[in-house]
Structure 1
Amino acid sequence: MNEAALHAGQFATLLIMAVALGMDAFSLGIGIGLKGIRLRDILKLSSVIALFHIIMPLGGMFAGQFVSGLLGHVATTAAGILLVLLGGHMIYSSIKGEEVKSLDYRSVWGTFLFALSVSIDSFSVGVTLGMFQADLLLTILLFGFFGGLMSIMGLMLGRRVSRNLGGYGEAFGGAILFIFGIMFII
């Protein structure tokens, strides 16, 4: 396989993962949007989420590179298992109906906690991508962009739709990660 095809395949994989991880920000954004939110707060919250979607996978990728050095050839299977567990947890959480409750997103602490809660999955995926030596700059740019974009979309859409759509969004994102995990294991 030539190098251009490998880069295109890596880009497509990272793009799909970025959208899948953004689904969490989207689904929780719908919940907050339903409560009513000002445009200024949407931009502030989405910017912080985008920043966390850069920082968390970056830390995860560095940790993954370290783990990859320790695990060697077992790294692919370990990364696949990690994605299966993460995807399964996202699906389970959406079915169970877990979400951030009574969080004041307008305070500095509330914004930080909300951004962390929707970005924590990015750290785990970053570990996996670090094991595969994924393109660092491309990964954090895609994750940051889609984390911010999906949160804006969720917050804006939350003003207009029912709460049920949010759970399906997180379940869909979890299913994508779960499928990638199975592919890495096989």
Structure 2
Amino acid sequence: MIPLLILGFVCSLDNFRLSIALGAFQFGWRRALRIAAVFGLWDGVSPLVGALLGRYLGQVIGPMADALGPIALAVYGLYLVVRSLKTQASEDLDDRWMLFGMPLSLSLDNMVAGTGLGLLGFPTVLSAAVFGTITALMSFVGLQLGRVAARFIPIRSDLLTGIGLLIVAVVLVLGY
């Protein structure tokens, strides 16, 4: 169980970093819980899918998983920065992208991890539940940290989030 918890924690760190950046939008508690739950759901479903699809999918997606997440974050971060510089008022995030695009791209590594866990004989449903729960908790904490940090940084929330997403993308590429 300890290796599963460690792997779940490590795989949730990208969502945690992303959630800190998204926290600049200062979501209310309900919306933050919803975002964290969706992030957890994606990170829970991904290892389940990976374990069920087996080794072949892990070999195909493996190299792409490391690139797709940071690329998606960088593109959306750049979009937010450009949009914030061209508009007067800060707009809210696009819920479809925030609840589908970002968590899906970040869950690809969990799919590969789930494939490995399935090959090692770890219980599929338990692995998915552990990954999802840890990611939901880490995402909620990240959203709250970002919310607090945004109060002390006098920059528009969309610009701050865009810069944060670009930083997260670079950090993910560099492997920290």
Tell me the TM-score normalized by structure 2.
0.66
- Distance, in Å, in 1 between the alignment partners of 2:98 and 2:66 is 27
1:128 aligns with 2:108: no
User: Is structure 2 residue 9 aligned with structure 1 residue 12?
Assistant: no
Of the structure 1 ranges 19-28 and 130-139, higher mean CA displacement relative to structure 2 is found in 130-139
Number of residue equivalences: 148
1:155 alignment partner in structure 2: 143
- Alpha-carbon offset, residue 58 of structure 1: 0.5
Secondary structure of the corresponding residue to residue 134 of structure 1: coil
Whole-Å separation in 2 of the counterparts to 1:116 and 1:153: 20
How does the TM-score come out when normalised to structure 1?
Answer: 0.63
Q: Which amino acid aligns with 1:123?
A: M
The percentage of aligned residue pairs carrying the same residue is 27
Q: Distance in 1 between matches of 2:128 and 2:146?
A: 26
User: How far apart, CA to CA, are the structure 2 residues paired with 1:54 and 1:140?
Assistant: 4
Change (3 A) 1:106 1:87: closer
- List gaps (5 residues or longer) in structure 1: 1-10, 69-74, 176-186
Q: What is the distance in 2 between the residues matched to 1:48 and 1:131?
A: 26
- The RMSD of aligned alpha carbons is 3.7
Of 52-61 and 32-41, more deviation after overlay is shown by: 32-41
How has the CA–CA distance of structure 1 residues 127 and 155 changed in structure 2, closer, same or farther, with 3 Å as cutoff? same
Which residue of structure 2 aligns with residue 113 of structure 1?
101
**Corresponding residue for residue 126 of structure 2:** 138
Deviation at 1:14, TM superposition (A): 0.9
Task: Tell me the CA shift for residue 100 of structure 1.
Answer: 4.0
Deviation per residue, 1:133-157 (Å, 9 max, x gap): 2121221111010110111011111
The SS at the match of 1:37 is: coil
The answer as to whether partners of 1:30 and 1:159 remain within 8 angstroms in 2 is: yes
Q: Give the counterpart letter for 1:132 in structure 2.
A: L
Matched, 1:45 2:35: yes
C-alpha contact 2:8 2:130 (8 A) present in aligned 1: yes
